[in-house]
Structure 1
Amino acid sequence: MNLKMTGIDFTTAGIDIRQRFSFTSKAMAAAIAQIRQKQEIRGCVLLSTCNRMELWLSLEEGAEFAIADFLCRLKGLSCEEYQEYFVVREGAEAVKHLFYLSAGMKSQIVGEDQILTQVKEALAFAREQEGADRLLEVLFRMAVTAGKQVKANVVMDKANFSAAHRALEFLKEQGNVLTEKICLVIGNGEMGKLTAQALMEEGADVTVTVRQYRSGIVKIPQGAKRIDYGERYRYIPKCDLVVSATASPNLTITREGLDACLRQRDAYFQEQIFLDLAVPRDMETSIAERQGVVYYDMDSLPFEAQSVEMRRQYEKAQNLLDRAIQKFLEWQECRDLVPRIQQIGADAGRELAWRMEKTLQHLNLSKTDLANLQKQLEHTTGKVVDKLLFELRNQAEPETLQKTVEVFEQVYRDSYGG
């Protein structure tokens, strides 16, 4: 298994750095297309969320690939300047990381659900682009399954919280009352819908921006109002809270646009809160300099340390994940043995044909028939040995199978001097 992963996340880089390595769907497709052209790469999956970007590669045995350098070149950035922000994981370490990540154990909000969907969607997207190979397919599918098992069996103290929920909790902790507040949510993707729903649960008056596409009516959370995205600046002066959570690489709120629209805002209005939940940022950071504006982005939100109960829950999740990881590693170990088992079968077939050579000579066969018979003996013997060893793979412990294969390999190395 030549598995490598390189990434940037909230533990190594602030939002200013993370947003430079974020990917839209179009950019992800282009990146995967480039990677597929590399002969040393068997498969790839690219994961890009608000808190992390990770590129996963399955490589030919013995092959090397500088993932961080590739990502920097792809983004037109200096490798030397950004190298320090990357984390590199290989083999079993990478496997463990993905399983824990899928279960929400490596999120800012430990146990949150959104990352599980994001990991699943990353694999689905790579599959659509013909990027994922067998190793990555099984790895990601088993990681997602393990994440679901954790969700079903471990009631995390902060489970079902997304960044949107935590942001609203933070605002309430600061003394803000959201009930009956006029709120605008810019963006109707997954994060936008979560935010709108969470605000409505708090009793807020929620309006969501939508873009009309040729595909037809755009659905928004039930109970929310809608305005066209192009009308957002006209609506902002009425708002107590403006949240932007899009996947767009372009700004949704600029300082110039905000200055222009807030000239219409009456003096008796209180402070407005602007909450940017996007990576890259949706809002121009200089809006924080404007009087009457309170601005928060993803790096502004505090995330609590684990409580005692949370640590107990984490240990329970850890036990489930470690067992799932072991199953994957056993699958991979057996997978690596397949060509070795097939080689043992071929060696056994050649030995039988060699030992039967004198006996076959007395059958008075033509040279062609004799050659065909020897070839059939080799093939049949190989199949029988393969069947025995593959059945052993299904029934025996991995250590037993590994030792058996090593013994057979040694027998044929001694016999043929190879």
Structure 2
Amino acid sequence: MAFLALGINHKTASVDVRERVAFTPEQLVDALQQLCRLTASREAAILSTCNRSELYIEQDHLSADAVLKWLAEYHRLSLDELRASAYVHEEHDAVKHMMRVASGLDSLVLGEPQILGQMKSAYAVAREAGTIGPLLGRLFQATFSAAKQVRTDTAIGENPVSVAFAAVSLAKQIFSDLGRSQALLIGAGETITLVARHLHEQGVRRIVVANRTLERASILAEQFGAHAVLLADIPQELANSDIVISSTASQLPILGKGAVESALKLRRHKPIFMVDIAVPRDIEPQVGELDDVYLYTVDDLHEVVAENLKSRQGAAQAAEELVAVGADDFMVRLRELAAVDVLRAYRQQSERLRDEELQKAQRLLANGGNPEDVLAQLARGLTNKLLHAPSVQLKKLSAEGRLDALAMAQELFALNEGSTDKSPQ
């Protein structure tokens, strides 16, 4: 068994690369099944967010190159381009990496809580695809436990620091009084929900939620006294929007330069603050070229995020220690599990030999054999049979000069010089 964690994230790849490596929800099941079918992967899961795309894999033998090649071919990238941005973690490091990710220690926003839910979704999709087995399943459960302990035992998640919070903080720097502003939110997922909550708490005058389905937009809008519209209604809403924050799973841009230009004319060039949190991007990059538009992507939020992270730095060290212990404990339990099959086979073999000798003894007793003689023969026969295979193997190893194996056998059978019976010469 061997674990791999490989992929790209906000530290290693630009938003342009990340959006080309991202998986849509509709692609995941097929991608997982294809990954297991075309590589040496026995179990697999994929985590794909705006800041990272990662593959978690269990294999018989480590084969990271084959997986990277599959990933490049799946997304029609050159292998060299992908390798320039990719990272690979193996075995213990892979386990630790997964736990760090789930705990928010590897996020753009240190300690952000959304990633744990996204990790749980990745696990659920892999189960649906049939690519989660006992080993990766155990690793995910250990990962969730480690992340929960980090949340419970440290202060890493106490302050409202997230990409959503950073976006609203940046809006406050541009508009001194958010209470006089109107906001257009595009999407209805977790990130937009957080944005809506922060804007509502800041007293934003009017919030509009635009989504592909009106039902989801309405559910979110009701929570914060907002107004729900369809994506098709965005051009009309733009002219009244001071703040536009977008985070959808669309594969194509939702807002183009032309639509924003038209809105600016109607606004008489009153500035619009825009944040595109989506990967792939929802807002065409050319929109940022327009006067009176302040366009930011997730990569532009680094500075704001860093300012809001100071209160979490102290807790991060304690969280790292918890993750390290969790990874070590998991590997110890995994090594213990590796012995279970060997022990089961050894027990079955021993019980078969025992039953053979017992049946032989019962036949002797049934034929009138002396009970003491039968018991002695049973003991001798069972001892000889139990020792036969180990004796043959130890002699063979000794003849081959395998002193390491002999030393291991001495440890395995708890032997030492004091336990051997030395007859007088």
In structure 1, the residue matched to 2:240 is 238
Give distance in 2, aligned partners of 1:128 and 1:308.
40
Structure 1 residue identity aligned to 2:315? Q
Q: State the 1:355 CA deviation.
A: 6.0
In structure 2, the residue matched to 1:79 is 79
In structure 1, the residue matched to 2:211 is 210
In structure 2, the residue matched to 1:255 is 257
Q: Deviations over 1:86-129 (max 9, x none)?
A: 00011000001111111111111111111111111111111112
Q: Is the CA contact (8 Å cut-off) linking 1:207 and 1:226 kept in structure 2? A: yes
Matches within 5 A, 1:99-110: 99-110=99-110
Match of 2:412 among 403, 407, 415: 407
In structure 2, the residue matched to 1:144 is 144
Secondary structure at the counterpart of residue 45 of structure 1: strand
Q: State the 1:243 CA deviation.
A: 0.9
Bigger CA radius of gyration: 2
Give distance in 1, aligned partners of 2:259 and 2:69.
37
Give distance in 2, aligned partners of 1:270 and 1:257.
15
In structure 1, the residue matched to 2:390 is none
Structure 1 residue identity aligned to 2:306? E
Give the RMSD, CA atoms, in angstroms. Answer: 3.1
Q: Whose helix proportion is higher, 1 or 2? A: 2
Q: What is the TM-score when the length of structure 1 is the normalising length?
A: 0.81
Shift of the 8–159 alpha-carbon distance from structure 1 to 2, 3 Å rule, reads: farther
In structure 1, the residue matched to 2:28 is 28
Give distance in 2, aligned partners of 1:123 and 1:281.
25
Give distance in 2, aligned partners of 1:206 and 1:280.
24
Give distance in 1, aligned partners of 2:294 and 2:39.
51
Structure 2 residue identity aligned to 1:407? L
Q: Is the CA contact (8 Å cut-off) linking 1:45 and 1:131 kept in structure 2? A: yes
Q: Deviations over 1:218-258 (max 9, x none)?
A: 51142111122101011101111111111111211111332
In structure 2, the residue matched to 1:387 is none
Shift of the 409–59 alpha-carbon distance from structure 1 to 2, 3 Å rule, reads: farther
Q: Is the CA contact (8 Å cut-off) linking 1:36 and 1:131 kept in structure 2? A: yes
Shift of the 307–118 alpha-carbon distance from structure 1 to 2, 3 Å rule, reads: closer
Q: Is the CA contact (8 Å cut-off) linking 1:43 and 1:59 kept in structure 2? A: yes
Q: Is the CA contact (8 Å cut-off) linking 1:110 and 1:158 kept in structure 2? A: no
Match of 1:321 among 320, 323, 333: 323
Q: Is the CA contact (8 Å cut-off) linking 2:20 and 2:280 kept in structure 1? A: yes
Structure 1 residue identity aligned to 2:234? R
Q: State the 1:354 CA deviation.
A: 7.0
2:306 matched to 1:304? Answer: yes
Q: State the 1:144 CA deviation.
A: 1.3
Runs of at least 5 residues in structure 1 that lack an aligned partner in the other structure: 366-376, 383-402, 411-418
Q: Deviations over 1:286-345 (max 9, x none)?
A: 011112111100111123179776443122222322332232112211111111112322
Structure 1 residue identity aligned to 2:44? C
Structure 2 residue identity aligned to 1:208? V
Give distance in 2, aligned partners of 1:405 and 1:337.
18
Q: Is the CA contact (8 Å cut-off) linking 1:113 and 1:160 kept in structure 2? A: no
**Matched positions, count:** 375
Runs of at least 5 residues in structure 2 that lack an aligned partner in the other structure: 368-380, 387-407, 416-425
Give distance in 2, aligned partners of 1:257 and 1:57.
43
Give distance in 2, aligned partners of 1:98 and 1:219.
33
Q: State the 1:358 CA deviation.
A: 6.7
Shift of the 23–246 alpha-carbon distance from structure 1 to 2, 3 Å rule, reads: same
Shift of the 64–327 alpha-carbon distance from structure 1 to 2, 3 Å rule, reads: same
Q: State the 1:260 CA deviation.
A: 3.7
Q: Is the CA contact (8 Å cut-off) linking 1:120 and 1:141 kept in structure 2? A: no
Structure 1 residue identity aligned to 2:228? R
Secondary structure at the counterpart of residue 219 of structure 1: helix
